[in-house]
Amino acid sequence: MTRTTERVLRAWATVTAGAFALGVGFVADADAKTALKVYTALEEEQLPIYKEAFEKAYPDIEINWQRDSTGVITARLLAEKDNRQADVIWGLAATSLMLLDKNGMLDGYKPKGYDQIKDQFKDTRSDKPTWVGMDAWAAAVCFNTAEGEKLGIAAPKTWADLLKPEYKGHIVMPNPGSSGTGFLTVSSWLQSMGKEGGWAYMDKLHENINSYLHSGSKPCKSAAAGEYLVGISFAYPGVNLMNQGAPVQVILPSEGIGWDMEATAIMKGTPHFEAAKAVADFSASAEANALYNNSYQVLARKDVNAKVPENYPANEGELLINNDFYWAAENREAILQEWQKRYGSKDAPKS
Amino acid sequence: MADATVQSPSLQAQRLVRPVAGAEEWAQRLLILLLGTWLLVTVLVPLSVLFRKAAENAQGQFIGLANFAAYFRDPALVQSIYNTLTVALISTFITILLAFGFAYAITRSAIPFRSFFRSIALVPLLAPSLLPGLALVYLFGNQGILKSWLFGHSVYGPIGIVMGEVFFALPHAVMIIVTALSAADQRLYEAAESLRAKPSRIFWTVTLPGCRYGLVSATFVVFTLVFTDFGVPKVIGGQYNVLATDVYRQVIGQFNFQMGAVVGLLLLAPAILSFAVDRLVQRKQVALLSARAVPYQVTRRPRIDAACLILCVLVSIFVLSILGMAVFGSLIKFWPYNLSLTLSKYNLGALGTVGWGALWNSLIMASLVALVGTIIVFCGAYLVEKTKTWPWARSAVHFGAMIPLAVPGLVLGLAYIFFFNAPGNPLNVIYGTMAILVVNTVGHFYTVCHLTAVTALKQVDNEFEAVSASLKVPFYKTFWRVTVPVCLPAILDIAAYYFINAMTTVSAVIFLYSSDTKLLSIAAINTDDAGNTAIACAMGTIIVMVSATARVVQLIASRKLHARTQAWRNR
C-alpha cells in the first residue's frame, strides 16, 4: 500500500468509523467497577468458579474472559501486539508466555506470596518476573481399556512399551508443529533420552504411530471414544472423560514425563495495572491454588497441601522431568524442522 | 435468442440516450467507487497487510522472497500441494456431476417433490463444519457403524476428506447451477423440437450451452472451496496434509504469521485462475432471458424422470444420513459405549453464559449479516453487471468480489486483527464489537452471493435498461421497479445464504469475537475441544434447526412473492 492510498483510506475510515460507532451504540459503563479483559486458555468449566472467587476477594474488579485454545489465544495475543486488548493473562502455557515475553509484551511484577511459589514455577532469570506459574500439566498416555480387552493388548506402562509390535498402527499423538502438548512431549524425550537417544526413540515410535493429529487433547479423546487404542496427550482430558464414564485409563510413563505449566502474566501497557496486579496476586494465592487443585495435581505453591483430583493418576509430581523451558524455547524451531523432515510426510495409514 | 431485430433498436436507443445520461452516470460512478472502497477496506487492504508479512521476518524486516525459498525447501510441501490438488480435483468432479444432475432434476424434470429435494440439497449449508466431521467419524471411523463399507480403508485421509468436501460443497454448486438452469427460454426448445433435434442433441446444443456460465462458475467455486477448506481435513484428514492444514500448523501451532502468509498466498492461486476463466466465458455469454423470453415448461419424459428421481433420492440419503448421524450423536449418552438416548445435552443453560447467550449473539449477528450483506451484494452486482460506465472499474470490483472465496477464514481473521486493530487505524473502534464480526462475515461469504446475484442479473435482458433509458426513466427506478422484483427469488436466496453462513461460520471469527459476542458455532468448537463431543453435536443441531427455520421462512416468502412478482414467467 502506498502512502497516498493509506492516507485516503484513513480519511475515509475516520468518517465511516464515526458512523460505525453510532451504529454499534457504545454505551459508557456507568458502573464504577474496573473491567479487566483477561485472556485465558483455562477449561471452560473452570472460568465461572475462578471468576466468582476472584470477584469475591476484589469486589471492585470485574473479569471479562476471552477464552480459547492455547494455540488460538497465543496467536491472537501475538497478532494484537501493536494494539493490545488484554490486560492480564490468567491460565496460559508458560511457553506461550515466554514467547510473548521475548516480544516485550509482558510487564514484570512480583505477586504477593511469591516466596511460597516453587522454584520450577518461577521465572528465576529475572528479579521482576514477567510470569508466575499456577499448576503443571504433564504428558500422559490414554489407553482404551475396552478396546484393549477386545484386541487382547495390555496397557503400556512406560514410553519403551509403546515400541512393542502389538501397538503397531494403534497409537496417535499430537503433531508437535500444531500442538504445544506435542512439542513438550517431543522436547521431553530429547531432554531425558539425550538428543540421539530421543530421535532414535521417535524413529522407532514412528513405525507404530497411526497418525499425528492437530490438537493436544484430541489423541486422548479419540482413545476414549475407541477410535484408537493409545493416545499420547495429557492427563486432564482423559480424567475428564473417565469421569463421564469413558473406558479410558490415564498412564504416566515411568521414565518421566514432559510438562508445561499454566501461568499468569500482566500485559505491558495495560491501563489497569493496579487491577491487573490484583489478578496476579490472587492467582498466586493459596486460595486460588486450592481451586487449581480440583483439576490439576501439581501446584505452584509449596504451602498448599495438594490432593489427587478424582480419577487423576497419582505421583505425577515425582515423574515430572527436570524440564529446561529455555532450552526448549531456543531449540524449538530446529527441533520442529528436524521432526518435520523425519516424520512430516508420512503417508496415510492403510488400517 | 437475441435476434437481429431486437438488437438494433436497443443499440439505437443507447446511442440516443448517451448525451442526457451525464448526471446519472456520475451517480453510478460514485456508487461503484463506494462499493470498491467497501471491498478494499473489508477484504483487500486487510489481506495486503497480512500478505506483506510474507516478505518479512519475525522482527518485521523486509527479507524479500526468503520465506518463500525456505517454504519451498520444506520436503512436505510438494506432498501438500499434490494432496491438495488431488482431493480438490476429485471432490470437484464428483460434486459438479452430482450437483448438475440434481439441479437438472429439480428444474427440468417432472419428478415429484422437487422443492423438497431442492431444500435437501441445501441442508449441508445449515450445519457448522464440525458436524459432518463428527458424523463421518461416527459413520465410518474405527468404531463407525458403517466402517465395513470402506473395505478396510481408513476414513482418515483422502476418502474422508472427499466425502466431507462433497457434502460441504454440494449446496454451493446446486445453488449456482439451479439459478443457471431455471432461466431457460422455452422458445429455444420449441425451435429445436420443430427442427426435429433429438433430445440428446437438444441437451448438448441448448441446455448445456445455456447454463455454461453457471457450470463454470460452480466448478471454480467448488474447486476453490475445497482447495482452501481446512475444517474438513483438520477433523478427518488424519495424516493427509493439505495446504490449508499447513496454514493452521504455521499459525496456530507455531505462531509463524510470516509462513502462514506464504501458504495463504499459495491458496489464492485458484481464485486468480478462476477470475481469468470467468472473464473468458463471460465474454461469450448472451442473456438467456430476453425481454420476449418465454419460461421453460417442464414436460414428462418417463425414462429421464426415473433417472432423475433415483439420483435425487441417493443424494438425499447421503446428505441426510450425515446430518442424521450428527443429530443422533447429540442424543446418545456416551459414544460408542453407552448408546442409550438422552436429551440432557440440549440443556445449554447448564453451561452458563456460553450457552443460550451464544445462541442469542449468533442470531443477532446472522440477522445483521443477512440484511447488510444482501443490500451490498445485490446493489454491487447490479452496478457491475448492468451499468455501462467505467468498464475497468467494474471489472476490478468484480475481481475484488472473487477474492474472498479463495481466502481461508483463518487467514482473513488474522488479516482483520492486523488491519483493524492497528493503533493508527481509526476503524479500530469496531474491533472487539459485533460490527467487526458482521463486516468480516459479509466479506468472507461475498463471492458466492455475488455470483448468484450476477447469474440472476445476467439472465435479465439488458434491454430493460436500454428501454427505460430511452424512456428517460432513471436507472435506480428501473432497478427498483424491474430488476429487484424480477430477481427477488435470488435476493431472498442470498439473504438466507448469508444468514445461514453467519450461523455456522467459525474459522475467521474465532480471532475476532470477544467475551460479549461469543457465537454458538465457536462455543460448539470449544465444547468439542473440551471433550464434550455430544454437547458439541447438540449445539450444532441447534444451529441446524435455526438455519433450517430461516430457510423455511425464505421458501414460504419466496413462494408468496413468486405468485405476486413472477407471474410473468407463466404463460
CA distance B488 to B470: 25
Residues 6+ apart with CB under 8 A from B137: A227, B144, B155, B235, B236
Query: Chain A window 95-114: which residues touch B at a Cβ cutoff of 8 Å?
Result: 99
Tell me how close the Cα of A268 comes to any Cα of chain B, in angstroms: 15
Q: Which residues of A touch B264 (CB under 8 A)?
A: none
Inspect the interface and report whether the beta carbons of A75 and B251 lie closer than 8 Å. yes
Residue B396: phi and psi, rounded to 5, are -65, -45
Q: How many whole angstroms separate alpha carbon A20 and alpha carbon B161?
A: 40
The CA distance from A317 to the nearest CA of chain B, in Å, is 24
Q: What DSSP element (H or E) covers B415? A: helix B409-420
pLDDT at B442: 96
pLDDT at B7: 43
> How far apart are alpha carbons B264 and B306 in whole angstroms?
45
Residue A341 C-alpha, separation from nearest chain B C-alpha, in angstroms? 7
Q: Is A345 on the interface with B (CB under 8 A)?
A: yes
Average pLDDT, chain A: 88
CB within 8 Å: A13 and B530: no
Measured between CA atoms, how close is A338 to chain B, in angstroms? 11
In this prediction the pTM is 0.84
- What does the alpha-carbon distance between residue B131 and residue B138 come to, in Å, rounded to a whole number? 10
- The residue among A252 and B67 whose pLDDT is bigger is A252
Sequential DSSP letters for B184-201: -BHHHHHHHHHTT--HHH
Interface contact flag, A240 B531, Cβ < 8 Å: yes
Answer yes or no: do B239 and A346 touch at CB < 8 A: yes
DSSP H helix total and E strand total for chain A: 13, 10
Residue A72: its chain B contacts at CB < 8 A? Answer: 252, 510-511
Note whether ipTM > 0.90 here: no
- Test B421 with A175 for CB contact under 8 angstroms: no
Residues 75-94 of B with CB under 8 A from A: 75-76, 79
What separation in angstroms does the CA of A313 have from each of A140, A184, A217, A231, B6? Answer: 9, 19, 17, 16, 83
| Contact across the interface for A178 and B257, Cβ inside 8 Å | no
Judge: A247–B526 Cβ closer than 8 Å, yes or no.
no
> Per residue of chain B (571 residues), what is the pLDDT tens digit?
334 334 444 444 444 444 445 788 888 899 999 999 999 999 999 999 888 888 988 888 888 888 888 888 877 777 888 999 999 999 999 999 999 999 999 988 888 888 889 889 889 989 988 888 889 989 998 888 888 888 888 888 899 999 999 999 999 899 889 888 877 778 888 888 888 888 888 888 888 887 888 888 899 889 988 988 887 888 888 888 899 888 888 888 888 888 888 888 888 888 778 767 777 776 666 555 566 667 777 788 888 899 999 999 999 999 999 999 999 989 988 888 888 888 888 887 776 656 788 999 999 999 999 999 999 999 999 999 888 888 888 988 988 898 888 787 878 988 998 899 888 888 888 988 999 999 999 999 998 899 889 888 887 877 888 888 888 888 888 888 888 888 888 899 899 989 999 999 888 888 888 888 989 998 888 888 777 788 889 999 999 999 999 988 988 888 888 777 666 666 5
Phi and psi (nearest 5°) for B474? -60, 150
Q: Is A49 on the interface with B (CB under 8 A)?
A: no
Residues with Cβ within 8 Å of A287's Cβ and at least 6 positions away in sequence, in order, are: A53, A57
Please state, in angstroms and rounded to a whole number, the distance separating the CA atoms of residues B118 and A118: 64
Res A5 pLDDT > 60: no
- CB spacing of B430 vs A24 below 8 angstroms: yes
Residues of B in contact with A224 (CB under 8 A): 531
Residue for grid cell 510470516: B258
Domains, chain B, with CATH or none = 20-52+349-565 (1.10.3720.10), 76-334 (1.10.3720.10)
- Structural domains of chain A ordered from first start: 30-136+260-316 (3.40.190.10), 138-258+324-343 (3.40.190.10)
**CA–CA gap between residue B173 and residue B122 (Å, rounded):** 10
Closest residue in B to A183 (Cα–Cα): B253
Rg (CA), chain B: 24
Closest among A66, A125, A63, A60 to A94, alpha carbons compared:
A125
Which residues in chain B are contacts of A99 at CB distance < 8 A? Answer: 255
Are the beta carbons of A178 and B248 separated by less than 8 Å? Answer: yes
Mutation pick from B255, B439, B520, B526 vs chain A, by most beta carbons of A within 10 Å, is B255
Q: Which of B37, B423, B430 sits opposite A82 (nearest CB)?
A: B423
pLDDT confidence band for A28 (50 / 70 / 90): very low
Q: Partners of B316 in the beta sheet?
A: none
From CA B465, how far away is CA B457, in angstroms rounded?
12
The residue in chain B having the minimum alpha-carbon distance to the alpha carbon of residue A221 is: B531
Whether B249 sits inside 8 A of A177 (CB atoms) is yes
Q: Report the gap between the CA of A272 and the closest CA in chain B (Å).
A: 18
Q: Which residues of A touch B420 (CB under 8 A)?
A: none
Backbone angles phi, psi at A63, to 5 degrees: -95, 130
Residue to substitute from B35, B417, B434, B438, interface A, most A β-carbons within 10 A: B417
A residues 272-331 lying closer than 8 A (beta carbon) to B:
none
Contact (CB<8Å) B251/A78: no
Whether the CB of A82 is below 8 Å from some CB of chain B: the reply is yes
**Residue A238 pLDDT class (50, 70, 90 cuts):** very high
| Range name among A23-27, A121-125, A156-160, B467-471 with the lowest pLDDT average | A23-27
pLDDT digits (tens, 9 = 90+) for A130-149: 999 999 999 999 999 999 99
How many inter-chain contacts (A to B, CB under 8 Å) are there? 185
Residue A256 gets the label, from left (phi > 0), alpha (psi -120 to 50) or beta, of left
Q: Are B298 and B104 in contact (CB under 8 A)?
A: no
Contact B348, B465 (CB under 8 A): no
**Is the Cβ pair A227, B76 closer than 8 Å?**
no
User: Are A48 and B533 inside 8 Å of each other by CB?
Assistant: no
Radius of gyration of chain A (CA): 22
Of A27-36, A285-294, B398-407, the least confident: A27-36
CB B389 within 8 A of CB B25: yes
Cβ pair B367, B360 in contact under 8 A: no
Residue type, B480: W
